[in-house]
Amino acid sequence: MASLLIFTSIIIISFAPNRHNIYGCGSNKNLWHKAWNGNSWVPSKTGWDNFGGNIKWAPTAVTWPSTGNQQVWSVGDDGQLWSRNSSSGSWGDWNNWGGSFASPPTSISWGSNSAAVAGVGTNSALWMRSNTGSGWGGWENHGGTFWSAPWLVTYGNNQRAVYGVGTDRQLWWKSWSGTGWGGWQSLGGTFISIVIVISRGSGWQNVYGIGSDQQVCFSLVLMMT
């Protein structure tokens, strides 16, 4: 195909030096994918791989750099979470992860085989599943009352956090201490978009979003100790 109409935002993940993958939801509600292999685009510069599915929001994906394996999730038209895995370059079929979601998902990976995926449920609370190396646990209700899709981030050894804009349009967050999750804390603000969070070093997090003044980017830098 010469072109592809994407009707959600795309995501890009990097899994090795000079290697990355792009995912997006097409106008036919299928998941589409292409990759940069270090020298050229696969399947081609203008071509895309059709991963099928019946999805309604932008996907999320993680990779484990030590293996190059990947996992991608998206919420289907049925409101449930669906996933496909890539192992040694070979993609498996779609797997139903259940749940009942009212937002796109978010995900993170850390270490050699640990990951988490989360989304806002139809009850407006945050729901999360985690794999700390011994297999995926079930869905956990983390509470809260959210207006936007959440965002997960890792920022140090066995340290991670989740953020979301509440129905009060303030930014809320909670963190994993290494042994358990803390409670929700408000960081204030008035947001009209989801937030995006990155870590630029151990203990540091940068939070970006669009404020009620419609400025392009609102930035908050946090140093966690």
What local confidence, expressed as pLDDT, does residue 4 receive?
46
Rounded Cα gap, residues 70 and 73, in angstroms: 10
Check: CB of residue 74 under 8 Å from CB of residue 60. yes
Phi/psi at 197 (5° precision): -125, 135
Q: List the one residue out of 93, 90, 1 whose CA is nearest residue 46.
A: 1
How big is the CA angle at 109 (ends 120 and 207), to the nearest 5 degrees? Answer: 60
159-182 pLDDT, tens per residue? Answer: 899 999 999 999 999 999 888 999
Fold of 105-225: Neuraminidase (2.120.10)
The residue-averaged pLDDT of 140-155 equals: 94
What local confidence, expressed as pLDDT, does residue 8 receive?
60
What local confidence, expressed as pLDDT, does residue 85 receive?
92
Residue 118 above 90 pLDDT? yes
Q: Does domain 1-98 have CATH number 2.40.128.190?
A: yes
Task: Indicate the pTM of the whole model.
Answer: 0.89
What local confidence, expressed as pLDDT, does residue 88 receive?
79
Residue 215 amino acid letter: Q
- DSSP for 104-147 reads --EEEEETTTEEEEEEEBTTS-EEEEEESSS-B---EE----BS
8-51 pLDDT, tens per residue? Answer: 678 898 878 888 999 999 989 999 999 999 999 999 999 999 99
Domain-wise residue ranges, the chain: 1-98, 105-225
Examine domains 1-98 and 105-225 and report if their fold is the same. Answer: no
